[in-house]
Amino acid sequence: MTRLVGREYMNNGQENTSDSYVIRPQVLRNEIMFQGQSLAPGQRKRTQKALRALHSLEIMAVNIYRFQLNRQQTLLNQELIAAMCNEATHTQDFLVKLYEYGMRPSKFRWFWWLVGMAFGLISRFLGPKAMLKTGVWTENKAVAHYTELLTLDWDPATRAVIEKDLADEQKHINTWKHLLETGWKKNDKIE
Ligand SMILES: [Fe+2]
Ligand SMILES: [Fe+2]
pLDDT tens figures, 148-172: 999 999 999 999 999 999 999 999 9
CA distance 81 to 66: 7
pTM across the whole model: 0.88
Nearest-5° Cα angle at 62, 1 to 17: 45
Kindly indicate the confidence band of residue 5, based on its pLDDT and cuts at 50, 70 and 90. Answer: very low
Q: Which ligand is nearest to the CA of 57?
A: 1
Domain limits, the chain:
41-182
Q: Does domain 41-182 have CATH number 1.20.1260.10?
A: yes
- CA 185 to centroid of chain Cα atoms: 25
Burial of residue 7, with CB atoms counted within 10 A of its CB: 0-12 exposed, 13-18 middle, 19 or more buried: middle
Band the pLDDT of 190: cuts 50, 70, 90. low
Give CA–CA dist 120/130, Å, rounded. Answer: 10
Q: How confident is the model at residue 183 (pLDDT cuts 50, 70, 90)?
A: confident
Q: What is the pLDDT of residues 73-103, one digit of tens each?
A: 999 999 999 999 999 999 999 999 999 999 9
19-56 pLDDT, tens digit per residue, is 678 999 999 999 999 999 989 999 999 999 999 999 99
Q: Which ligand is nearest to the CA of 140?
A: 2
Q: How far is the CA of 173 from the centre of ligand 1 (A)?
A: 11
Please tell me the distance from the alpha carbon of residue 178 to that of residue 188, in angstroms, as a whole number.
15
pLDDT computed for residue 178 by the predictor? 93
User: From the CA of 167, how far away is ligand 1's center (Å)?
Assistant: 9
User: Residue 87: what residue type?
Assistant: E
In this structure, the dihedral spanned by the alpha carbons of residues 120, 122, 128 and 132, taken in order and rounded to 10 degrees, is: -50
* Single-letter amino acid code for the residue at 125: F
d(CA 163, CA 143): 10
Question: What separation in Å is there between the alpha carbon of 176 and the centre of ligand 2?
Answer: 10
Q: What's the gap in Å between 50 CA and the centre of ligand 1?
A: 14
